Amino acid sequence: MKRSAYAYPYLLWMALFIVVPLAIVLFYALTDTVDGRLIFTLENFSAAFDPAYVKVFLRSLWMAALATVICLAIGYPLALVLSSRHFKAGKLLLMLVVIPMWMNFLLRTYAWINLLSDNGIIMKALQFFGVENLSLLYNQTAVIVGLVYNFLPFMVLPIYTSLIKIEPNLYEAAGDLGANSFMSFLKVTLPLSVPGIVSGITMTFMPAITSFAVSRLMGGGLVTMYGELIENQFYFMRDWHFGATLSIVMMVLVLISAVLTRNNKNKEGGMLW
């Protein structure tokens, strides 16, 4: 294969901003500073598999998976309604789904904290109806809500895109051949939207499992996720070596799940990377 000369700036770019940083991360992960001296060691890695960290990892996996499933459960029907040709306001409502994506991530999350906090309107309303001793914030549910809210558009958009691309003629053909609307959905809509579902899952799951802001802000440090764990190593523990190790563990695991989801033959729908 002959590579075009135009590819070289790109290769340089990749080397500079992907390979070199990765090498640095790997370097940090494989070293430790003892008495101000740098030594090579694998201890960081064995520490990374300490049950306490594995537990956080499994929890992150579980929470990201749950958030993804909920996003799919909400996002698919939503995309289905928005993409319906009989639904004239679909495009407008899609904008409403997308607009929050333009807003700063932290801003959105703080807005939710405000809503869910003990003095927020939701609590006030609940208290008005006599519900006491309930906290909407700083628990696992709150983190899931935050994740779902933040990543729902990433689920809806690719599914919407794959649905809107389906030729309306195909529905008529299915009806013509005896399929009622349920069968038509099962045999035409669903299989043709699989690429959208796959990229939706990827685009939700990946950022969800790596996110740290949501769990820190809405979990209040009580529901730590892996991304937050890494952040803590860098910012609060100042242990760059162990932070780098945890990053690599996560990167490898994310890569594995990426390969797994990518392994479907439909290349449509657009991927995150």
d(CA 192, CA 1): 33
Whole-number minimum distance, CB 266 to another protein, in Å? 8
- Tell me, what DSSP letter sits at residue 195? H
d(CA 183, CA 129): 44
- Token pair for residue 103? 């807003």
- Tell me, what DSSP letter sits at residue 177? T
- C-alpha 272, offset from chain centre: 10
* Cβ nearer to another protein, comparing 26 with 179: 179
Task: Classify the C-alpha dihedral 251-254-260-266 as positive or negative.
Answer: negative
Whole-number minimum distance, CB 167 to another protein, in Å? 7
Whole-number minimum distance, CB 262 to another protein, in Å? 19
Residue 29's SS3 state is helix
* Cβ nearer to another protein, comparing 24 with 173: 173
Whole-number minimum distance, CB 31 to another protein, in Å? 51
Contacts with another protein, residue ranges (CB under 8 A): 167, 169-170, 172-180, 183, 187-188, 191-192
Per DSSP, helices labelled H in 84-133 are 90-102, 105-116, 121-128
The residue assigned the tokens 């333009």 is 102
* Cβ nearer to another protein, comparing 16 with 173: 173
* Cβ nearer to another protein, comparing 118 with 167: 167
Whole-number minimum distance, CB 165 to another protein, in Å? 10
* Cβ nearer to another protein, comparing 147 with 174: 174
